[in-house]
Structure 1
């Protein structure tokens, strides 16, 4: 992404965040292929993986994790992707994150605490 102005870089990140929210995996991976960091974050600290997880896109989560995304990268409020997926009831995403090695004790609240709050401890190993 070298050669872009700060405004252009910000717009590229915004577009990529939208692709993550929408689960448009192939298009999102093209952004990564052209230099977007896999752990890019928006103004609230949400990563691409966080947004894909929160919006229930397990395929996108797997693709980002496969590209080296930090599965434990918390947003600006200290929330982890796996805790967000548990909160939203995204069972397939939770499974994908567990498979990718997500830390169940990171974030505030942690995935374990979130699972207990919502009676979903069955999702966790």
Structure 2
């Protein structure tokens, strides 16, 4: 029989129906599909398929800790065995939540605990692409420092450099190229960063990409 786990959360004790170290991924109901609440067990653990209200509330608090940058609270949970790669209903990892909201300290904390910068959400967006979209230089540097794949192209998605090109972020475009990004890569529709920039009216990044395109082609 599985033993319940109790956690003290801001003077409130929350009893979980599963041990904290067993929680793998948490998914929430989708109004569109009517999907059930399920958990995906970590290897070698037996898990129920339904989440009770306390576990659901606990997960929401974890996600909000990441969004709000509550590093001290989150560190306590991670040290107690909370997996660093929990996912929301839309596939956002804890790292995505923290990095997208510009929480540098929390982002580093999650990376130090094994947060995976390669996890893309259901919209095929990676933490690095999200940070580029937000124009957050500190988060971009942090993710690169921890080995985020600069040219990661999730199925149906775009690279971080493509986001920089589309949203006219020339400084980040240059930084990604410096880090080894390939400006000639194509997305699932066959479009390059230059073509995407032109379609978005991103004049500065388009001008730069045009200026380096012949050189890139010659090197290729």
Count residues with an aligned counterpart: 124
Cα distance in 2, alignment partners of residues 93 and 85 from structure 1: 6
Deviation at 1:119, TM superposition (A): 3.0
Aligned match of 2:101: 55
Aligned match of 2:91: 45
1:123 matched to 2:175: yes
Cα distance in 1, alignment partners of residues 61 and 175 from structure 2: 32
Aligned match of 1:76: 122
Structure 1, gaps ≥5 residues long: none
Equivalent of residue 163 in structure 2, options 100, 103, 114? 114
Of structures 1 and 2, the one scoring higher in RCO (CA 8 A, sep 6+) is: 1
Give runs of aligned pairs for residues 75-94 of structure 1, distance below 5 A.
75-94=121-140
Cα distance in 1, alignment partners of residues 61 and 79 from structure 2: 15
1:91 and 1:123 in contact (8 A); partners too: no
1:94 and 1:123 in contact (8 A); partners too: no
More strand by share: 2
- Out of 60-69 and 109-118, give the one that drifted further: 109-118
Q: Output the TM-score relative to the length of structure 1.
A: 0.91
SS at match of 2:89: coil
Aligned match of 1:100: 146
Deviation at 1:83, TM superposition (A): 0.3
Aligned match of 2:60: 14
Structure 2, gaps ≥5 residues long: 5-15, 18-50, 180-220
Larger radius of gyration: 2
Deviation at 1:76, TM superposition (A): 1.3
Q: Output the TM-score relative to the length of structure 2.
A: 0.53
More helix by share: 1
Cα distance in 2, alignment partners of residues 12 and 103 from structure 1: 31
Aligned match of 1:32: 78
Deviation at 1:34, TM superposition (A): 2.4
